[in-house]
Amino acid sequence: MLKQRVITALVLLALLLPALLASSAEPLAGLTLVLIAAGAWEWGRLNGFAMRSSLRVSAVCVMLCLYAWSARWAYDAPANVWFVTGAAWVLVAAWLIRHGVERWATISRALRLVVGVLALWLTWVAMYQAKVIGINFLLSVLFLVWMADIAAYFSGRAFGSRKLAPAISPGKSWEGVWGGMVGVVLMACIWIWVDTHYVVDSLSLYSRLYTRGVPFLVLAVLFLTMMSVAGDLVESLVKRSAGMKDSSQLLPGHGGVLDRVDALLPALPLAMMLVQSL
């Protein structure tokens, strides 16, 4: 299993790194469009659709992404799109986590399908727009999610005793969440220092939030950390409802695409919402 995980990670890195470092945003947008299409297919399967129907779901998601691409949403997104997306994520995630796995199955499959496709589509647009802003900015958002996950894992293993949502994800603890928050705040401070002492292609998310003061910066990164955890919990809830451990086996050793991007689904649009508010 470890060998598979390492090989898969190296292949993904070899594909994503050149696109991430490219001078334009289009190579990364094109490559991640493939991943988003795979995620939409997984979403269809998780919600009980057959192979052919799930492929149609994927095609619809791709067409929405291509529409946003042709309309240049990455450069000039419609007014308030990130505020609406952010508010929807907060309300829907809170409702789902509160009501649990059983309630998910009572929601119509059509509505579940629409919600998932919209979430994937808007995450792709947010990623594309973040890359247009700059590599440093995009990396600062991605590393927020990764740091929250890594710090939560180690602090949860060391100190975890109080379960966060045992019916949804038994392995997560409140101590892990708090550890993730501390890790992200420390990383934000270091990143701001780097922005001020080195030449970067763009200001990071943290330096932009810092323009509103330290309290706003801390509250904003804590909020994004909590929402990245919420994204993880929502995907776990859907998988439990479907009776599946992983969203698919498309990434050997890692599970599916949704398993790897679940925390990014709310974090990227919400980061764009916060930046838009500055």
Q: At what angle do helices 2-21 and 26-46 cross, to 10 degrees?
A: 140
Helix (H) or strand (E) holding 163: strand 163-165
Per-residue model confidence as pLDDT tens digits over 251-261: 777 788 999 99
pLDDT at 171: 87
Per-residue model confidence as pLDDT tens digits over 237-253: 999 998 988 888 887 77
Helix (H) or strand (E) holding 251: none
pLDDT at 246: 86
pLDDT at 9: 76
Structural domains counted in the chain: 1
Model pTM above 0.85: yes
Q: Which residues contact 59 (CB under 8 A, 6 or more apart)?
A: 37
pLDDT at 2: 55
- Low-confidence stretches of the chain (pLDDT < 70) are 1-3
Q: Which residues contact 212 (CB under 8 A, 6 or more apart)?
A: 278
Q: Which tokens in the block code for residue 71?
A: 């309309």
Cα distance between residue 211 and residue 150, in whole Å:
27
Q: Which domain holds residue 119?
A: 2-276
pLDDT at 1: 55
